[in-house]
Amino acid sequence: MSELFIKICGLRTAEDVDAAVAAGADAVGFVFAHSPRRVDAATARELAARAGDRVLTVGVFRGQPLEEVRELAAASGIRAVQLHGDEGPEYYEALRPEGYTLVRATAPAPEQPESCGALGEDLLLLDAPAPGAGKPWDWSDPRFVPPAGRWVLAGGLDAANVGRAVRTLAPWGVDVSSGVEVRRGVKDPALITEFVRAAREASAASA
């Protein structure tokens, strides 16, 4: 498999971003949806600039009006938009011409296999039914069929279990938020480093 894509989400401070970049993360996420991790557009713009060109900067939205998504994305200077609600294909159609990498986040249903690109997204993120709660979904369910293409595993991952997840499912990427926190909304640089190292080691061993 190609090198694993790693996203650290829910970042709120310069220290968070610096730790993720130093650890070798491929993407950092800033939450604009209702959450203890929420940041405003001005803060996200400062943090996104700090991340540099190599790291994909992602704005996370959930059930927000299309115009609000467009305004926040433009004001914050992010390069990717992650839609984490029941947004329809019209969101993807409207945002596509603006040049964003589009991420569709959804909770998996083993009886209904997902397909990357079904609504026009570039990346598909499979998350727990309660995103950001730190509780994994049962990705070991034998009925679960990993999607083809660029899909990202999220939901309750941390340094202790990401290796097993990568070896079991061979996802294109992984995403973590609560699994690198000391308390809700507060990241720990050491945990970020440990997570990236564990994910990279598992990916290399599976190559």
Catalytic center residues: 9, 127
Long-range contacts of 113-121 (CB under 8 A, 24+ apart): 113/145, 113/147, 114/147, 114/151, 115/147, 115/148, 115/149, 116/147, 116/148, 116/149, 116/150, 116/151, 117/149, 119/88, 119/89, 119/92, 120/89, 120/92, 120/93, 120/96, 121/83, 121/92
Helices (H) and strands (E) in the chain, counts: 6, 10
